[in-house]
C-alpha cells in the first residue's frame, strides 16, 4: 500500500486533482468529508461538540449549524483548539479504518487541507502539493465561489504559505493554468504512484 498525502491552498484545485486520481483507481480518504460525518446527528462527536459549545450551535432540525459554530471558533483560537481536540481524533480513527479496508496494493490518497499546518507530512509515504499562485487562488475564490476579495484574502492568510507547502512536497502539480493542462500532469503523477505502490508491495 502506498499512503499519499494530498494538499494545496484554498482555490488551488485540490478537489479536482483528488477527483481525477479517484477516477484512475486511487482509494480516496477525504478529511473534510469525514469531519462532517463524525458530527452528524446521533453521533458521539456531535454530542461532544454540543457539550463544549452549548445547544445554540444546533439548527431547529438538530444538525450542526456550521456558520454559527464557524463564527465562534474562527474568532477565538482557544475555542478553535477545543473544537479540533474533539473532531481531529475522530477523523483520524475513521481515516485509519478506511485505510485498513483498502487492498495491500492500493494507492490511498488522503485529501488533507491542513496537512502542512498540522505537520502531518511524516505520516505519509509521499506528499503531493497542488500549487497555484496567490493571484490565481484569489481569482478563483472570488469568481467561482462568490467570496469578496477580503473574505478570500482572510481564508488564504489563515493557511500555510505557498513556500511552506512546497517545502514538504515530494511531487508538485502546477494548477495555475486552465483545466485541460491539469489532467496530463495528474495522469503522469498517477503512473508514478502506481509504480511506487508496486515496488513497495514486493
Distance CA 166, CA 129 (A): 7
**Averaged pLDDT, 18-26:** 97
Q: Mean of the per-residue pLDDT values for the chain?
A: 93
The mean pLDDT value for 166-184 works out to 94
- The CATH classification number of 1-26+106-202 equals 3.40.50.300
pLDDT in tens, 88-134: 899 989 999 999 999 888 999 999 988 999 899 999 999 999 999 99
**Res. 163: pLDDT tops 80:** yes
Mind listing the pLDDT tens digit for each residue in 122-141? 999 999 999 999 999 999 99
Residue 202 has pLDDT above 80, yes or no: no
pLDDT above 80 for 184: yes
In the chain, the percentage of residues whose pLDDT exceeds 90 is 78
Q: Do domains 1-26+106-202 and 34-103 have the same CATH topology?
A: yes
Domain residues of the chain, as ranges? 1-26+106-202, 34-103
**CB-based burial, 87-122: b 16+ in 10 Å, e otherwise:** beebbeebbeeeeeeeeeebbbbbbbbbbbeeebbe
pLDDT score of 154: 84
In this prediction, residue 155 carries a pLDDT of: 84
Residue 11: per-residue pLDDT: 93
Fold of 34-103: Rossmann fold (3.40.50)
Q: Count Cβ atoms below 10 Å from residue 16 Cβ, excluding itself.
A: 17
Question: Does the pLDDT of residue 74 top 80, yes or no?
Answer: no
Amino acid at each position: 500500500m502506498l499512503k499519499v498525502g494530498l494538499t494545496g491552498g484554498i482555490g488551488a484545485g485540490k478537489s479536482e486533482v483528488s477527483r481525477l486520481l479517484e477516477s484512475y483507481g486511487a482509494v480516496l480518504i477525504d478529511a473534510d468529508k469525514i469531519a462532517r460525518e463524525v458530527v452528524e446527528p446521533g453521533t458521539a462527536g456531535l454530542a461532544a461538540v454540543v457539550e463544549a459549545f452549548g445547544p445554540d450551535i444546533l439548527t431547529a432540525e438538530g444538525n450542526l449549524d456550521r456558520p454559527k459554530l464557524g463564527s465562534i471558533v474562527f474568532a477565538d483560537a482557544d475555542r478553535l483548539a477545543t473544537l479540533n481536540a474533539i473532531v481531529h481524533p475522530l477523523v483520524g480513527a475513521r481515516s485509519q479504518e478506511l485505510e485498513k479496508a483498502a487492498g495491500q496494493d492500493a494507492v490511498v490518497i488522503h485529501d488533507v487541507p491542513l496537512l502542512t499546518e498540522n505537520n502531518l507530512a511524516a505520516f505519509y509515504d509521499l506528499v503531493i502539493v497542488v500549487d497555484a499562485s496567490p493571484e490565481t487562488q484569489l481569482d478563483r475564490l472570488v469568481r467561482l465561489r462568490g467570496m469578496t476579495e477580503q473574505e478570500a484574502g482572510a481564508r488564504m492568510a489563515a493557511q500555510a504559505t505557498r513556500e511552506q507547502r512546497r517545502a514538504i512536497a515530494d511531487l508538485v502539480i502546477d494548477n495555475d493554468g486552465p483545466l485541460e493542462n491539469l489532467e496530463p500532469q495528474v495522469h503522469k503523477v498517477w503512473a508514478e504512484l502506481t509504480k511506487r505502490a508496486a515496488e513497495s508491495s514486493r
